[in-house]
Structure 1
């Protein structure tokens, strides 16, 4: 599994979540909503330090990660974080190799 971020998504995290060099952005599983992978679960995001990061990617000093306990949610998929211009927010896609 890997995490990919578009330039627009990185900019959104910097502006909306005040993500700066040395910060951590976590993608986590939350109960509720739906996703293409699991009905009843969706992807959440928070600004917090990792406990047991399974997957990380670093851009401009900010580390984006998924905890080991949340890897099941991705079901063998990569997380691609794009941007929805109409909603002005990140858009999540799940891809396989």
Structure 2
């Protein structure tokens, strides 16, 4: 899996200030129900989790580890994930970028 996670400075600030995540970890996963720009019927979930089990991709920024585990990689195959901050919703927003992994 060649996927990567990018966390913007504003998103990092939100996770640290609003969720108290300094020195901790956040796991991203696909969950049933909802919709993303790349999946119908599934949405992106996140949860604080300080003990990654079988991470396939990690990104550490400002002493917070963002990651996806092996069991959730299906949701992200073919995409890089950028986590940004949306001032309108005052929370994170997720941008999926085709990384060419599915190209043959």
Q: TM-score, normalised by structure 2?
A: 0.87
The equivalent of 1:90 in structure 2 is 92
- Map residues 1-16 of structure 1 onto 2, 5 A cutoff: 1-16=3-18
Secondary structure of 2:38's counterpart equals: coil
**Long gaps (5+) in structure 2:** 100-104
The equivalent of 1:42 in structure 2 is 43
Q: TM-score, normalised by structure 1?
A: 0.93
Secondary structure of 2:12's counterpart equals: helix
The 2-side partners of 1:26 and 1:17 are apart by 13
Q: Which of structure 1's runs of 4+ aligned residues deviate more than 3 A? A: none
The 1-side partners of 2:48 and 2:85 are apart by 18
Larger Rg: 2
The number of residue pairs the alignment matches comes to 96
Displacement of 1:16 after TM fit?
1.9
**Long gaps (5+) in structure 1:** none
The 2-side partners of 1:41 and 1:20 are apart by 29
